[in-house]
Structure formats: structure tokens, C-alpha cells
Amino acid sequence: MDKKVAVVTGAGAGLGRMFARVLAADGWDLALLGRTRETLEETGCGLVVPCDISDEASVAAAFREVTGHYGRLDLLVNNAGVPGPTGELHTVPPAEWRATFDTNITGTFLCTQQAFEWMAANGGGRIINNGSIAGHSPRAGVAAYAASKAAVASLTVSTSLDGRPYGITATELDIGNARTALLGSFTGSEPMFDATEAARLLVAVASMP
């Protein structure tokens, strides 16, 4: 049998790079999505597909390339995200609020939509969303990020419900304080754990029946 194929967004750094490398070590074929070709190439474990996930045409082209190259798609990991603006609510610039939602929820939706369409026509698959504890237990001063991740949580449930007739499952991972450059902007001196453990969790979920 051909190896299973996973798409990982935001695969050029942080948890996305870690997710991709651990999936590859577990035997998956990978498609690495992200804005910058050079950082995706540095991840070094799959098909490199530069993509702006907030742009509908870019996402559609990326998924055509992936399915055309591999001929299958078994797993989508919606990992790409931005921290967004920090500060009290009345100081948040609306343009930065919109930009946060463009990546964190619209980008997740667009990638989910493309994967869902392929999976529905080809026997099912799995979608894993990198959510956040902030989606249901926010810190002060991160309203845009927290609200966008709450929306991801809702989208995950909707994806799971709509996917049932097609054998498509959807799971959200609320990982917490894994040590990444993104998280450092939120947590300050809070304890953090090795991001490898988060990647092992993702592989375990991806391998479930």
C-alpha cells in the first residue's frame, strides 16, 4: 500500500515543523504548506508547497498540487496561526484583528474545505486543528487570538458533524505551553514543556482508527 499523505500548514517553523518531522518519522508522506519556500525547505521532509492560507485561490492551487503529486490525502493538520495584537481591548487595531482572523480561522476554514471535498469523494480522512486553551480560557490582553481560537473550536465540531456521512473525523488539540517562538510572546516566565511531546500526541491522534 502507498504511504498515507498528510498536509501540514505552517510547516516552516515551530510546532508545524515539529509536527511534520515526527509524522515523517512515523512513515507518512508530507506536503508542507507555508508562506516562505526557504523555511519549508529547511523543514526538509516533504513536498514543499508555498501557500497563503488566507487566500482562497492560493489554497485551492496548493491542494491541487498535493493531490496531483501524491494521488491521495489522508490527513490535514491545520497548524498555521499568528499571535495577533496584544493589549487591552480598546487598544486593538481593527486591521490587526482582521488579519488575525484571516489566518487563524479563515485560513483554517479554507484548508479544511479543500481537504473535506477531497476526502468526501475519496473514502474519508482525518482533520486535526491546532486549537488553544485560550479559546475557552483566555488570558487578558489577547482578545484577537483567543476569539479566533474559539472560532476554530466551533469549526472543528461543525467539521466533525458534517464529516460523519463521509468517514471524515475532526479533532482539536489544545496543547498548552509547548516551547515555541509563538508561545513566548504570551507566557513570559510560565513553565513550558518540550514541543516534541505535542508532536507525539498529534501522531497518536493521527494514527487512531
Q: Which residues are catalytic?
A: 145
Contact 199, 26 (CB under 8 A): no
How far is it, in rounded angstroms, from Cα 111 to Cα 78?
7
**CA max distance for the chain:** 55
Residue 139: which of 99, 100, 89, 91 has the closest Cα?
89
- Compute and round to an integer the Cα radius of gyration of the chain: 16
SS3 168: strand
Q: Residue 197 CB: number of other CB atoms within 10 A?
A: 12
Neighbours of 35 (CB within 10 A): 16
Angle in degrees, CA 57, 135, 61, rounded to 5: 10
